[in-house]
Amino acid sequence: MVKVVAVLYPGGPAAKEVPELLGCAENALGLGPLLKAGGHELVAITDAGAELDKQLPTANVLIATPFWPAYVTKERMERAPHLKLLLTAGVGSDHFDLQAAADRGITVAEITGSNVVSVAEHVVLQILALVRNFIPSYQEVIAGGWDIGKIAARSHDLEDKTVGIFGLGRIGQRVAARLKPFDVRVLYYDNRRLSAVEEQVLGVRYMHYDAMLPQCDVVSINAPLTPATERFFDKRRLAQMKKGSYLVNTARGKIVDTDALVAALKSGHLAGYAGDVWYPQPAPRDHPWRTMPHHAMTPHVSGTSLEAQKRYAEGIRECVTRFLEGRPLDREYLIVEGGKIVSPSYAYAYGKGT
């Protein structure tokens, strides 16, 4: 018998009303029938603290989502002697200690590509929310007001602006493609440059981040969290950004220094910040990003539209099925295998992999 532990968000009443809400603990990615048919055990929980610690000593497979993460550290892995597989229901496995998993021979996989469309759409949504000053406009209506001057004073056209994309992978490329109709100039930085043909098709121009940041009216962060990108946007790099520019972060909260961002918004150096990624997650009620000025934050929902949930649930069921049958996982999904970090997105920062 195999024991699968899934740490997922609570669906509440919506879990019954909307069966397509597969990513919640109540519906557990549709794994129930699959595991029950094989005589295996499924434990779906929402508590990534004490309840998870209770389940770890007998778990063989652990599943978590990036937006309701189970932070699986080296110490937790040491308390899970039977753990063989860590799965991310979605994209981004930084909530797992990848080096510790590699050292212990634990396989790590995520459902690559499952939510790239959802996140890219959210990026464009949040860029427009900031540039057009949408959130204060909405709040003005709710409050019963009609102060056109106050709203229009911070509202701009996106057309003719310069947008920088930090990390031009699957999501970043889709962001660039979706921005083309807005007639913006798109610059990008990535540790792997595209070919000239790819750049031409997307309408993007490569530039090192030190040169890119001061030129951009908007910067979108679409890079994975690694040791190289953690707190990359610190006080110094935020100061490099153009005064009055906007920063959008749908990647990971720890890529941006929490306090430095608040200071940059309060001083007016940045005109606004939007994103749906925080650290830690779920964000505590007193997290300073909840109350900082000129923000358009959401609670990490960009990559979990119903369509995205269907895609990553299908991918998780495929991975679990292959594991149960002793077959290798799809190589596209693999982050850690055979004691090595094999995903290019993570390997360059850890110095591991192929």
Domain harbouring 28, CATH code: 3.40.50.720
Burial class of residue 195, CB neighbours in 10 A (0-12, 13-18, 19+): exposed
Residue ending a domain, choose from 279, 297, 315: 297
Place of tokens 């921005």: 179
Residue ending a domain, choose from 297, 313, 335: 297
Do 72 and 184 have their domain in common? no
Q: By residue range, what is the domain housing residue 218?
A: 116-297
Do 61 and 171 have their domain in common? no
39: alpha, beta or left, given left = phi > 0 and alpha = psi -120 to 50? left
Return d(Cα 30, Cα 21) in angstroms, integer: 10
Token pair for residue 327? 């077959």
344 pLDDT band, cuts 50/70/90, is: confident
Q: What is the pLDDT of residue 345?
A: 77
Out of 133, 173, 222, 281, the active site residue is 281
Q: Do 302 and 77 form a contact (C-beta atoms < 8 A)?
A: no
When pLDDT is averaged across residues 280-296 and rounded to a whole number, the result is 97
Of all residues in the chain, the percent with pLDDT exceeding 90 is 97
Token pair for residue 272? 């606004």
What are the pLDDT digits (tens) for 303-331?
Answer: 999 999 999 999 999 999 999 999 999 99
Neighbours of 39 (CB within 10 A): 8
Q: What is the pLDDT of residue 347?
A: 60
Do 70 and 89 have their domain in common? yes
Do 12 and 55 have their domain in common? yes
Do 59 and 173 have their domain in common? no
The answer, yes or no, to whether residue 19 has pLDDT greater than 80, is: yes
When pLDDT is averaged across residues 211-236 and rounded to a whole number, the result is 97
Decide if 79 is catalytic.
Answer: no
Token pair for residue 131? 């540039």
The answer, yes or no, to whether residue 352 has pLDDT greater than 90, is: no
- pTM assigned to the model: 0.93
Out of 115, 133, 222, 249, the active site residue is 115
Out of 174, 252, 295, 311, the active site residue is 252
Please count the structural domains in the chain. 2
When pLDDT is averaged across residues 278-302 and rounded to a whole number, the result is 97
Decide if 156 is catalytic.
Answer: no
